[in-house]
């Protein structure tokens, strides 16, 4: 936190100013090799091992384009409803920095491979019951290579300030990236933070659905730069923006937007001008601080990359890719929502919990959507939290869950026994049906066994019997407990109730 920042409370700020956002997302493509050379595209532990002379930009080396990366870039462009360029070139973006092996980055300048698209972003409505949809317009998506990674040693913050020396690891240099740039995102008002986070989450889900990237923000596969500006009202011209770079979680994106809106409002309220600059987000307190002052057109001296030939994807190839695209997450959610009949809120909770896939697979294995949701959002969600893992990491399969539910539906076990069985499945003891069989956990429906237990309970609880006969039928509950205990919880509760009522000559 910079002591100097005057922060206007968020609600106040958004009452009086109209926020505008701009978000740049970089995604690392999951190709086998790098963008322009054959070095492996892997997360290598040992520094400077996933490199070739080309990755290092050694004198005399030349780039060779990774065709798979082009295909992935086109996939992303199509998923974002973009036009795919008929012909486009790479360009050199030139600046000096030790993590850049050639002191230029091979990127695309005025000829991106994809441009002029949009993506709809869903956020919960303000009252919490429904969803609101914002359409984010995409200006462009282009291909480029990643830089290496600097580690600054010796200072207290790990940043360059105060460091005694720096180490450079070029494992990441040359990894294929696609950069996606939005047009100014307007009309979000107080929902700006949520829209920003939801936009990046939507992109992340798309990358995974397309199978073009592992898309893990915490691994740096997906990076977001968040631009915020304020203006007096939607008719006013755009205000000066600040850019917060490398915000690496959805929560942080929300906080960044919140903080920047408050900070800009503080400056504007005092009649000051926002400085156009690069900022960094601080995890510890949700604040941002100034990085370096950014002149708007930092002169990168772009010119077309002479070592590469233009990329001209044929229209046939683009259509081939388009027809091979999988169902995208938003479309899939809408379809499942219709099929399953959940409420918007239920659907959202399911999506946020990562239970969409397991539920879909459990339904495919024969269970009803509601029962699948009950298990995955109930008992299994609880277990996952306890074990501190994701739902899909639990030691139970959707098929097993479906089987478990079927045992209940067939009245072979009750809910209580089911939870016990589930515990055993998670412990690796096998399939539900096999466990029930092996341990004799099936509900007891044998009348002779039940009758014996009922007789015992009636004999043991004359006062309860009296109550029931006196008209208080609910008092049966007090008898069910001991009977369940006597039958190790396996008594068919419904049948037990019938027998008791029958014996006591009472209508239930």
Partner 1 sequence: MNSPGSGSADLTRLSAAAMAAAMADGSASAEEIARAHLARIADVDGELNAFLHVSEDDALATARDVDTRRAAGEELHPLAGVPVAVKDVVVTAGMPTTAGSRILEGWIPPYDATLVERLRAARMPILGKTNMDEFAMGSSTETSAYGPTRNPWDTDRIPGGSGGGSAAAVAAFEAPLAIGTDTGGSIRQPGAVTGTVGMKPTYGSVSRYGLIAMASSLDQAGPVTRTVEDAALLHEVIGGHDVRDSTSLDGGFASFTEAARLRDVKGLRIGVIEELEGEGFAPEVRARFTESLALLEQAGAEIVRVSCPNFRYALGAYYLIMPSEASSNLAKFDGMRFGLRVVPEDHPTAESVMKATRGQGFGAEVKRRILLGTYALSAGYYDAYYGSAQKVRTLVQRDFAAAFESVDVMASPTAPTVAFRIGEKVDDPMAMYMNDIATIPANLAGTPGISIPSGLAEDGLPAGIQFLAPVQADDRLYRVGGALEALLEDSWGGPLLDRAPELKGAGK
Query: In the bound complex, what is the minimum distance in angstroms from residue 57's beta carbon to partner 1?
Result: 5
Instruction: Tell me the torsion sign for CA atoms 66, 67, 71, 74.
Output: positive
Residue whose entry in the numeric block shows the structure tokens 């074990």 = 387
Nearer CB in complex with partner 1: 238/309 = 309
Binding piece for partner 1, criterion CB under 8 A, among 111-119, 227-235, 296-304, 351-359: 296-304
Residue 232 is classified by DSSP as S
Residue 311 is classified by DSSP as B
Subset of residues 193 to 222 that bind partner 1, contact rule: CB under 8 A = none
Is 92 a binder of partner 1 (CB under 8 A)?
yes
- Name the token pair of 241: 């923006």
Nearer CB in complex with partner 1: 55/242 = 55
Is 310 a binder of partner 1 (CB under 8 A)?
no
Q: Determine the 3-state secondary structure of 23 from DSSP.
A: strand
Question: Of 43, 118, 302, 317, which lies in the binding site for partner 1, with binding defined by CB under 8 A?
Answer: 302
CB 145 within 8 A of CB 176: yes
CB 145 within 8 A of CB 106: yes
* Burial status of residue 38 (CB atoms within 10 A of its CB: 0-12, 13-18, 19 or more): middle
Is 97 a binder of partner 1 (CB under 8 A)?
yes
Instruction: Give the separation between CA 162 and CA 165, rounded to whole angstroms.
Output: 9
Is 453 a binder of partner 1 (CB under 8 A)?
no
Is 58 a binder of partner 1 (CB under 8 A)?
yes
CB 276 within 8 A of CB 240: yes
Subset of residues 59 to 78 that bind partner 1, contact rule: CB under 8 A = 59-65
Question: Of 5, 16, 94, 337, which lies in the binding site for partner 1, with binding defined by CB under 8 A?
Answer: 94
Is 313 a binder of partner 1 (CB under 8 A)?
no
Instruction: Give the separation between CA 70 and CA 144, rounded to whole angstroms.
Output: 10
Query: In the bound complex, what is the minimum distance in angstroms from residue 13's beta carbon to partner 1?
Result: 35
Nearer CB in complex with partner 1: 55/182 = 55
Q: Which residues contact 196 (CB under 8 A, 6 or more apart)?
A: 21, 23, 185, 226, 253, 254, 256, 257
Question: Of 3, 45, 46, 96, which lies in the binding site for partner 1, with binding defined by CB under 8 A?
Answer: 96
Nearer CB in complex with partner 1: 91/425 = 91
- Name the token pair of 81: 């409803």
Nearer CB in complex with partner 1: 174/432 = 174
What CA–CA distances, in Å, run from 76 to 31, 118, 153, 214?
Answer: 14, 12, 37, 14
CB 117 within 8 A of CB 138: yes
Nearer CB in complex with partner 1: 63/358 = 63
Among 58, 340, 20, CA closest to 173: 58
Nearer CB in complex with partner 1: 306/505 = 306
Binding piece for partner 1, criterion CB under 8 A, among 88-96, 185-193, 336-344, 359-367: 88-96
Binding piece for partner 1, criterion CB under 8 A, among 49-57, 329-337, 378-386, 441-449: 49-57
Is 299 a binder of partner 1 (CB under 8 A)?
yes
- Name the token pair of 487: 């039958």
CB 87 within 8 A of CB 156: no
Query: In the bound complex, what is the minimum distance in angstroms from residue 400's beta carbon to partner 1?
Result: 50
Is 32 a binder of partner 1 (CB under 8 A)?
no
Is 17 a binder of partner 1 (CB under 8 A)?
no
Neighbours of 217 (CB within 10 A): 18
> Which residues are at the interface with partner 1 (CB under 8 A)?
53, 56-65, 92, 94, 96-98, 101-104, 166, 168, 297, 299, 301-303, 306-309
């Amino acid at each position: 936190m910079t002591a100097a920042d005057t922060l206007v409370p968020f609600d106040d700020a958004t009452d009086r100013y109209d926020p505008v956002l701009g978000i740049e997302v970089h995604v690392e493509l999951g190709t086998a090799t790098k963008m322009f050379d054959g070095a492996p595209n892997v997360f290598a532990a040992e520094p400077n091992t996933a490199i070739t002379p080309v990755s290092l930009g050694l004198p005399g080396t030349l780039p060779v384009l990774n065709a798979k990366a082009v295909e992935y870039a086109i996939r992303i462009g199509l998923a974002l409803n973009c036009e795919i360029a008929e012909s486009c070139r790479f360009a050199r973006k030139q600046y000096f920095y030790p993590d850049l092996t050639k002191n230029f980055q091979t990127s695309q300048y005025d000829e991106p491979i994809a441009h002029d698209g949009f993506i709809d972003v869903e956020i919960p409505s303000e009252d919490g019951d429904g969803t609101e949809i914002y359409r984010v317009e995409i200006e462009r998506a282009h291909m480029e290579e990643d830089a290496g990674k600097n580690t600054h040693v010796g200072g207290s913050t790990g940043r360059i300030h105060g460091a005694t020396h720096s180490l450079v690891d070029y494992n990441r240099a040359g990894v294929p990236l696609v950069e996606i740039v939005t047009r100014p995102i307007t009309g979000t008002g107080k929902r700006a933070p949520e829209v920003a986070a939801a936009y990046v989450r939507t992109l992340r889900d798309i990358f995974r659905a397309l199978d073009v990237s592992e898309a893990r923000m915490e691994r740096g596969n997906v990076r977001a730069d968040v631009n915020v500006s304020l203006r007096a009202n939607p008719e006013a011209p755009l205000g000066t923006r600040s850019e917060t770079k490398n915000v690496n979680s959805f929560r942080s994106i929300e906080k960044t937007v919140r903080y920047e809106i408050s900070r800009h409002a503080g400056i504007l309220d005092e009649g000051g001008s926002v400085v156009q600059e690069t900022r960094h987000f601080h995890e510890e307190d949700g604040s941002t601080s100034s990085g370096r002052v950014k002149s708007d057109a930092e002169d990168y001296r772009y010119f077309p990359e002479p070592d590469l030939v233009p990329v001209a994807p044929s229209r046939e190839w683009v259509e081939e890719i388009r027809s091979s695209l999988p169902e995208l997450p938003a479309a899939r959610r809408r379809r499942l929502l219709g099929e399953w009949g959940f409420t918007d809120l239920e659907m959202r909770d399911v999506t946020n919990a990562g239970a969409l896939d397991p539920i879909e697979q459990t339904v495919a294995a024969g269970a009803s959507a509601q029962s699948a949701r009950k298990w995955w959002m109930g008992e299994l969600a609880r277990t996952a939290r306890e074990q501190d893992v994701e739902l899909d990491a639990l030691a139970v399969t959707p098929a097993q869950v479906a089987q478990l539910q079927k045992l209940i539906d067939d009245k072979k076990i009750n809910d209580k026994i089911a939870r016990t069985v589930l515990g055993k499945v998670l412990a690796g003891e096998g399939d539900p049906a096999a466990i029930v069989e092996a341990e004799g956990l099936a509900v007891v429906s044998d009348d002779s066994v039940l009758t014996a237990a009922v007789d015992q309970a009636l004999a043991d609880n004359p006062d309860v019997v009296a109550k029931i006969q006196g008209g208080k039928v609910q008092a049966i509950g007090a008898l069910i407990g001991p009977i369940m205990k006597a039958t190790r919880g396996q008594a068919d509760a419904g049948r037990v109730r019938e027998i008791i009522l029958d014996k006591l000559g009472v209508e239930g």
